[in-house]
Structure 1
Amino acid sequence: MTVAVVSFGGSNCDRDVAKALRRIDVPADTVWYKDEEEVADADGVVLPGGFSYGDYLRAGAMAARTPVMERVRNRVDDGAPVLGICNGAQILCESDVVQGAYAQNLSARFRCEPVRLRVETTDTPFTRRFDEGDTVEIPIAHAEGRYVPDDLDALIDDDRVLFRYVDENGEPTDEANPNGSVDNIAGIVGGSRNVAAMMPHPERASHPLLGTDDGLDVLAGFSDPSDG
């Protein structure tokens, strides 16, 4: 499997994601967004974090309207694993690949800190190594991370909540919610379940020297299931 990590002007986590994927023996290349054929030919796609186009208009809004996103949609439709991280999650929402939108944090401040997440579903490539209810620690770094779903009931009924922000007891409390996301939602999956959007950065939790390597099990969604 070769993963295309798509770089836009303003992306700043692309190399980190590619390096983290290589740590788990997943071949990954950073691909400039204009190199659409490389995205079309990839076995998986990551839209990484950063500030694409300086977050003008809305975070992710301009990148969502670039031609490469049609290639990304095609990969989703073909069943390839696709993951949007932070700004990448915003791009997926802005392009209607997944439902909902991201708004400014309720604190109106940029939040950069470790958070605790609870795994809500394991029926996705990105959580298949977990058990439902497992908790992991993965950092956030965002100013517009407040997730607002189009239809919360549908997300819950369809088991499409990927992660929730939780406290040390694994409970989704207001205090554990760093941005005011509705229902403490930290990540979601699309209707086909092979595409996910999450605000926390698994690539920043990919080595013990970073404090945790919990994020590697998320990125393992790009490895062959037979690899464990």
Structure 2
Amino acid sequence: MASQKGVILLNFWASPFGQRVCIALAEKGVEYEYKEEDLSSKSELLLKSNPVHKKIPVLIHDGKTVCESLTIVQYIDEVWSDKAPLMPSDPYQRAQARFWADYVDKKMYDGGSRLWKLKGEEQEAAKKEMIEMLQLLQTQLGDNKYFGGNTFGFVDVALVPFTSGFYTFEMCANLNVEAVAPGIIAWAKRCQERESVAKALSDPKNIYEIVSMEYP
């Protein structure tokens, strides 16, 4: 069994990327020290721990640093392998999980931020793209309970933090996710029944508050 000593997470409360790590740690039952970062005045520890990107989240384990959220989640899955795995055992299914988690990484954050940054025709174009993304993910989910079938796993961890932004989509761009991708909302509700997810996700109205302050 891997050591749980010296596990530190550098994070910012509203970050969906950091929330992924919180969920993975909770799923594995790992105790850790949480350090909240002020992204306008980053700590020396963060700058030292992630000198390349200077971003959260960063996991520190026994003095060693791991950066980038999907990499961290995979690290957690491999190190604390005595608990239920987040990645499938089948190589093809693992490859598929990595593909869809990467898709989420490349599309959801930028796509969502465009909804509240842009106005007019540009926002409508961004809205159309987001609807297409959500419906594609809904198709991939199909009738399964989770993206990994009946097992909560890697893709679920990658995507579910972004659901806290759905309220902001509606308020900023009049995009009702339940209307265009009801399967994603039903999946999100199932995920939120898990303690690991419920404790990690930010309140949607708090997310909207910080977005509306930055982009009034």
Q: Could you say whether these structures have the same fold, taking a TM-score greater than 0.5 normalized by the shorter chain as the test?
A: no
Report the TM-score, using the length of structure 1 for normalisation. Answer: 0.29
Structure with a larger share of its residues in helix: 2
Report the TM-score, using the length of structure 2 for normalisation. Answer: 0.30
Structure with a larger share of its residues in strand: 1
Larger Rg: 2
